């Protein structure tokens, strides 16, 4: 039974780019099960791809191979890499798109520039991780184009991985990969936690960088633009209007019942979400 | 050979929601064949999902498992259910999204409110149908979120169903499911049949709630907005301009050759389509 | 191991049309591997479908079955056909959508009308090709609608082909298929090569009908609208701003680093791209 290969790209679905990758994979491994994560990443938005991937990969079978091709530097000196974690493989350009997998605890708050992170730093993957610089052309399509490594390098490498080719055959082990600082909430002068909108989903839910365990104790008051939401809701139909809720990936979300919070509030990715403890709780 | 599992949601394809469901299914049943029906249902539009599903499910292999997650009440007291019909399984919230499967003959004309039906009534499925209230957490992902039962309940239940787990293991049998009255044409004061636009497809074809066998005998005259179409066309390129045609699901459609009837007429879902018998036929 | 069946349509993904085709295929051949090429072809744009298909099919396994349903003439006298090439099968209406497969060398420059080619001519497929007129209803869904041959004829025929049914069973061999002249660059009065934008991809790259081996020797100067680009870039991040590059399908592309050349230049499909040899090279 062949492993699952997932695809996350900014290719859209109107061209044949994604299909060409699938054709290449199925030519090498006809038994591969290919699953699209999304192809609607904004062009070149490495951070968005990294975030979406981070919410999905852990739901796939152990040993799945996740191919990520958001690759503005294709054809340049940026490396193509494989990252093996204890549960999965990731095949991607070394441009920060795997940052959520390399996240180290204890770092201070920071927000990468958007859409292409300019504050990349090299980081060592965690224990049990192994990274390889893809250099062996035996596993590539030939000739390799300079503009479409998704089809010519990443897809065939993933397909060969799915056939059980050992990691070491694809290239030399490397110690460090590029990562951007994972977006985390700040604190303002009064000590309130200030998060930021990280992603806006199909429903217009505003997904912030505030995680469940960042929440202060006591009754919560969320300030977003000129609106204030009191208390956490448990589910989307619990109350009318705006609500704050812990979403399915563990992040604080601002939602609007049967509507788009993003459209209603006019808030974009990067917008601030401030948490105040309610007076009852803080006085 | 594992059954087909289909997915119909309002999740869009820009987030990882759909992919997470697929990952969960493939973790439980790596042999599952997963097919997307659509993920472009308007957010919370239960009626649209019900209609689209009704046009597709009968083309799938017997025993297919159709998962429908258009679920504005997720996390609330609304039930999660499995409906077994003589030919397939449906896994969905009990919110009317399975109404077309529960349609009973002989009811009067009615149109549900849009997009979320407020005129739900409980109805007994037909002979040979069986419904189960999903309550056994043994077949769920844990922990279960309150916002994403698609991933945490519907997907794993469908995957276990595809492995042959008997219906009774998922929860108790229930006698009635919620349904909305299926949209049907009315009659106006002069006895003309008045249908309504039920769905606008990718081509701008206006699909009405008038079925083939609703059509009056004699030459047909269709009035839509200020336009009038005479006679039924057999296929889209039979004539230029606007035409009336029986579409591939058996409903009367208004189409524009090589164009969008919806854009040309400025008609939306719910708009009226009036059938007159031509004078030649009625005099 | 069943062959791959690919689907290229103008159906969009918001309706159940594509899913119905997949259900039909899986009912006939549960082992089929189905891959979407795209369903976002502009409605009735036969030329766009032909081009997208031409960039993808060669990356699929030998013996793959490519179903193309961009079919404004559905239900009319236009033929449904199977074309077998030395490497694959194509199942499509005989309306020019297979033109790139029938391209013969030595023809003069020409551009088909858009979106529906009116300059179709009948052409004999190359050596090693075989074409069949699909007429045997034993392999169709019944009843056959007049509006959805994708579901009722093309899908079931492709599924039966994937089971190994011989070509001759589907209908009689035919000698000629309709094709439009493949878009090719012209020359202006000064002898400069004048290409045209053939396709705009998801990134806003302008893909022209100028191929790698059409390029004049010497340093290249590309004129597009009021902009001029000097030299060929090797990859997208090689320089800032506008660039000319040979894309992954071998065509000259105009691209904008980290942006949309189409939006920046305001150029649409059909727009002219003029190649001048630089003065240094020509003097």
How many angstroms away from the CA of B42 is the closest CA of chain C? 9
> From the list C15, C19, C74, which residue is nearest B236 (CB)?
C74
Last residue of a domain, one of C145, C179, C213: C179
CA dist., res. C106 & res. C182, Å (int)? 11
Residue B96's domain comprises: 4-179
**Cβ contacts (< 8 Å) between A261 and chain B: which residues?**
none
CA dist., res. B184 & res. B233, Å (int)? 22
Find residues 91-150 of chain C whose CB sits inside 8 Å of chain B: 116, 145-148
Mutate to test the interface with C, among B14, B56, B65, B246 (most CBs of C within 10 A): B56
CB spacing of B75 vs A247 below 8 angstroms = no
Are A136 and A98 found together in one domain? yes
* Residue-level pLDDT at B1: 58
Instruction: Give the contacts of B84 (CB within 8 A, at least 6 positions apart).
Output: B90, B129, B130, B131, B132, B167
Last residue of a domain, one of B155, B179, B203: B179
Are A150 and A276 found together in one domain? no
Q: Can you say whether the dihedral through the CA atoms of B75, B76, B82, B88 is positive or negative?
A: negative
CB spacing of B201 vs C15 below 8 angstroms = yes
**Cβ contacts (< 8 Å) between C70 and chain B: which residues?**
none
What digits encode the pLDDT tens for the residues B112-170?
554 556 677 888 887 789 999 999 999 999 999 989 999 999 999 999 999 999 999 99
CA dist., res. A26 & res. C6, Å (int)? 12
Name the residue in chain C with its Cα closest to that of A32. C33
| Average pLDDT rounded to a whole number, residues B203-232 | 92
CB spacing of B15 vs A38 below 8 angstroms = yes
Are A144 and A244 found together in one domain? no
**Cβ contacts (< 8 Å) between C61 and chain A: which residues?**
23, 26-27, 30
Residue C9 Cα distances to B89, C76, C118, angstroms: 29, 18, 20
CB spacing of B258 vs C14 below 8 angstroms = no
| Count of alpha carbons within 13 angstroms of residue B275, beta-carbon side | 29
| Of A65, A44, A49, the residue nearest A8 (C-alpha) | A49
Bridge partners, B93 (sequence order):
B80
The mean of the pLDDT values for chain B is 90
CB spacing of B75 vs A1 below 8 angstroms = no
> Please, are residues A81 and A93 in contact by the beta-carbon 8 Å criterion?
yes
Q: Hey, what are A111's tokens?
A: 């927000």
CB spacing of C31 vs B1 below 8 angstroms = yes
CA dist., res. A121 & res. B207, Å (int)? 55
> Please, are residues C177 and C94 in contact by the beta-carbon 8 Å criterion?
yes
Are C29 and C153 found together in one domain? yes
Q: How many other CB atoms are there within 10 angstroms of residue C207's CB atom? A: 23
| Of C112, C150, C189, C119, the residue nearest C12 (C-alpha) | C150
Mutate to test the interface with A, among B147, B151, B152, B202 (most CBs of A within 10 A): B147
What digits encode the pLDDT tens for the residues B218-258?
888 999 999 999 999 988 888 889 999 999 999 999 999 98
In this prediction the ipTM stands at 0.93
Q: Hey, what are A63's tokens?
A: 């040993």
CA dist., res. B243 & res. B184, Å (int)? 21
| Average pLDDT rounded to a whole number, residues C79-106 | 89
> From the list C15, C31, C74, which residue is nearest B202 (CB)?
C15
| CATH, residue A228 | 2.40.30.90
| Average pLDDT rounded to a whole number, residues C198-205 | 96
SS3 C108: coil
Q: How many other CB atoms are there within 10 angstroms of residue C190's CB atom? A: 8
Q: Hey, what are C136's tokens?
A: 């045997």
Name the residue in chain B with its Cα closest to that of A59. B23
> Please, are residues B120 and B76 in contact by the beta-carbon 8 Å criterion?
no
> From the list B16, B27, B31, which residue is nearest A37 (CB)?
B16
Are B94 and B154 found together in one domain? yes
Q: What's CA A186's distance to the chain center, in Å?
A: 20
Are B76 and B211 found together in one domain? no
Q: Hey, what are A247's tokens?
A: 């979403």
How many angstroms away from the CA of A11 is the closest CA of chain C? 6
Are C24 and C146 found together in one domain? yes
CB spacing of A146 vs C235 below 8 angstroms = yes
- The model's confidence at residue C218, banded by pLDDT at 50, 70 and 90, is confident
| Of A198, A194, A176, the residue nearest A185 (C-alpha) | A194
% of residues, chain C, pLDDT over 90: 73
**Cβ contacts (< 8 Å) between B23 and chain A: which residues?**
4, 6, 35, 56-57, 59-61, 64
Q: What is the DSSP string of A189-249?
A: TTS-EEEEEEEE-TT--EEEEEEGGGSPSSSEEEEETTEEEESEESSTTSSSSEEEEE-TT
Range from B111-115, B257-261, C131-135 carrying the lowest mean pLDDT: B111-115
Burial of A274 (0-12, 13-18, 19+ CB in 10 A): middle
Number of domains in chain B: 2
SS3 A49: helix
SS3 A157: helix
Token pair 């047909």 is found at: B220
Are B10 and B141 found together in one domain? yes
CB spacing of B258 vs C44 below 8 angstroms = yes
CB spacing of A26 vs C39 below 8 angstroms = no
SS3 C150: helix
CB spacing of B202 vs C73 below 8 angstroms = no
Are A168 and A193 found together in one domain? no
Q: What is the DSSP string of chain B?
A: -PPEEEEEES--SSSSHHHHHHHHHHHH-TT-EEEEEES-SPTT-HHHHHHHHHHHGGGSPTTEEEEEE--TTTTSSPPEEEEE-SSEEEEEESSSTTGGGS--TTPPP----SSS-S--EEE---TT-EEEE---GGGS-SSPPSS-HIIIIIHHHHHHHHTT--GGGSS-EES-EEE-PPP--EE-TTS-EEEEEEEE-TT--EEEEEEGGGSPSSSEEEEETTEEEESEESSTTSSSSEEEEE-TTSEEEEEETTB-HHHHHT--TT-EEEEEE-HHHH-
**Cβ contacts (< 8 Å) between B269 and chain C: which residues?**
none
Kindly tell me if the per-residue pLDDT of C280 is higher than 70: no
Task: Compute the CA torsion angle A139, A142, A147, A151 (nearest 10 deg).
Answer: -50
> Please, are residues C215 and C222 in contact by the beta-carbon 8 Å criterion?
no
SS3 C89: strand
Task: Output the tens digit of pLDDT for each of chain A's 283 residues.
Answer: 579 999 999 999 999 999 999 999 999 999 999 999 999 999 999 999 999 999 999 999 999 999 999 999 888 889 999 999 999 999 999 999 999 998 754 344 444 554 556 677 888 887 789 999 999 999 999 999 989 999 999 999 999 999 999 999 999 999 999 998 888 999 999 989 999 999 999 999 999 999 999 998 888 899 999 999 999 998 888 888 999 999 999 999 999 998 999 999 999 999 999 998 655 444 3
* Residue-level pLDDT at A107: 45
Q: Can you say whether the dihedral through the CA atoms of C157, C159, C160, C165 is positive or negative?
A: positive
What digits encode the pLDDT tens for the residues B88-99?
999 999 999 999
How many angstroms away from the CA of C54 is the closest CA of chain A? 9
Q: What's CA A80's distance to the chain center, in Å?
A: 18
| Of A265, A217, A267, A215, the residue nearest A245 (C-alpha) | A215
SS3 C109: coil
Kindly tell me if the per-residue pLDDT of B56 is higher than 80: yes
Kindly tell me if the per-residue pLDDT of C171 is higher than 70: yes
Question: How long is chain A?
Answer: 283
Last residue of a domain, one of A132, A152, A179: A179
SS3 C40: coil
* Residue-level pLDDT at B182: 87
- The model's confidence at residue B24, banded by pLDDT at 50, 70 and 90, is very high
CB spacing of C248 vs A145 below 8 angstroms = yes
The DSSP bridge pattern shows strands B33-38 and A232-233 to be unpaired
Q: Hey, what are A164's tokens?
A: 């059980």
Q: How many other CB atoms are there within 10 angstroms of residue B220's CB atom? A: 18
What digits encode the pLDDT tens for the residues C95-125?
999 999 987 543 444 445 445 566 778 888 8
What digits encode the pLDDT tens for the residues B1-15?
579 999 999 999 999
What digits encode the pLDDT tens for the residues A115-168?
556 677 888 887 789 999 999 999 999 999 989 999 999 999 999 999 999 999
Q: Hey, what are C78's tokens?
A: 């236009």
* Residue-level pLDDT at C53: 97
φ, ψ of residue B159 to 5 degrees: the values are -65, -40
Q: How many other CB atoms are there within 10 angstroms of residue C15's CB atom? A: 25
Are A37 and A127 found together in one domain? yes
Please calculate the CA angle A148-A150-A152 and round it to the nearest 5 degrees.
Answer: 70
List of chains touching A (3+ CB pairs within 8 A): B, C
> From the list B56, B64, B247, which residue is nearest C20 (CB)?
B56
Question: A247 at the B interface (CB within 8 A)?
Answer: yes
Are C124 and C148 found together in one domain? yes
In angstroms, how far apart are the furthest CA atoms of chain B?
69
| CATH, residue C70 | 3.40.50.10790
Q: What does DSSP assign to residue A3?
A: P
CA dist., res. C59 & res. A21, Å (int)? 8
| Of A156, A76, A175, the residue nearest A116 (C-alpha) | A76
Q: What is the DSSP string of C207-267?
A: EEEEEGGGSPSSSEEEEETTEEEESEESSTTSSSSEEEEE-TTSEEEEEETTB-HHHHHT-
Bridge partners, B186 (sequence order):
B194
Are A275 and A238 found together in one domain? yes
């Amino acid at each position: 039974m062949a492993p699952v290969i997932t695809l996350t790209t900014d290719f859209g679905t109107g061209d044949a780019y994604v299909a060409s990758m699938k054709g290449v994979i199925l030519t090498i491994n006809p038994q591969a099960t290919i699953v699209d994560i999304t192809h609607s990443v904004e062009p070149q938005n490495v951070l968005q791809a990294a975030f979406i991937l981070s919410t999905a990969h852990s739901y796939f079978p152990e040993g799945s191979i996740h191919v990520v091709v958001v690759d503005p530097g294709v054809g340049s000196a940026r490396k193509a890499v494989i990252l093996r974690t204890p549960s999965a493989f990731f095949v991607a350009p070394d441009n920060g798109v795997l940052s959520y997998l390399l996240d180290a605890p204890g770092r201070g708050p920071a927000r990468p520039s958007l859409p292409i992170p300019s504050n990349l730093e090299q980081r060592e993957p965690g224990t049990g991780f192994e990274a390889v610089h893809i250099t062996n052309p035996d596993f590539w399509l030939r000739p390799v184009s300079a503009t479409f490594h998704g089809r010519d390098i990443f897809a065939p490498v993933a397909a060969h991985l799915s056939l059980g080719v050992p990691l070491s055959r694809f290239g030399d082990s490397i110690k460090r990969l590029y990562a951007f600082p994972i977006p985390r909430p700040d604190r303002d002068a009064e000590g309130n936690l200030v998060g930021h909108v990280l992603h806006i989903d199909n429903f217009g839910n505003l997904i912030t960088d505030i995680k469940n365990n960042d929440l202060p104790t006591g009754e919560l008051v969320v300030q977003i633009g000129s609106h204030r939401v009191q208390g956490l809701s448990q589910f989307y139909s619990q109350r009318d209007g705006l609500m704050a809720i812990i979403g399915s990936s563990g992040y604080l979300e601002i939602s609007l019942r049967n509507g788009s919070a993003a459209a209603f509030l006019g808030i974009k990715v990067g917008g601030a979400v401030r948490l105040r403890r309610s007076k009852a709780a803080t006085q």
